[in-house]
Amino acid sequence: MNRPAPRQVIQRRSANPSRDGDGVAIQRLHDFSGAIDPFLMLDELVAAPGDNAIGGFPPHPHRGIQTLTYVLHGGLRHEDHLGHHSSIRAGAAQWMHTGRGIIHGETPFTDEQGLHAFQIWVNLASSDKLSEPIYRDVQPDEMPRHRDQGAELTALGGNWVIDPETRLEGPLDALAGQGAMAELTLETGSSLTLANSATTLLALVFQGSLTASGTLLPKGEMAIFGPGDSLELSGQDDARALLLAGEPHGEPIAHYGPFVMNHQHELEQAMREYRDGILTLPPA
Task: Report whether CATH 2.40.30.30 matches the domain 9-246.
Answer: no
Average the pLDDT over 184-205 and give the result. 97
CA–CA separation, 35 and 81 (whole Å): 33
Say what the pLDDT of residue 56 is. 83
- The pLDDT value recorded for residue 20 is 80
Which of 107, 83, 109, 84 has its CA nearest to residue 95? Answer: 84
CB 164 within 8 A of CB 201: no
Higher local confidence (pLDDT), 150 or 4: 150
Domain boundaries, the chain: 9-246
Nearest alpha-carbon partner for 44 in 85, 14, 65, 64: 14
Q: What's the pLDDT band for 2 if we cut at 50, 70, 90?
A: low
What is the residue type of 136?
Answer: R
> pLDDT tens, 209-248?
999 989 999 999 999 999 999 999 999 999 999 999 999 9
pLDDT at 87 > cutoff 70: yes
The per-residue pLDDT for 223 is 98
What is d(CA 231, CA 220) in angstroms, rounded to the nearest whole number?
Answer: 20
- 75-80 β-sheet, strand order: 57-62, 102-109, 75-80, 85-89
Please give the model's pTM, rounded to 2 decimal places.
Answer: 0.95
Residue 21: predicted pLDDT: 75
Residue 179 has pLDDT above 80, yes or no: yes
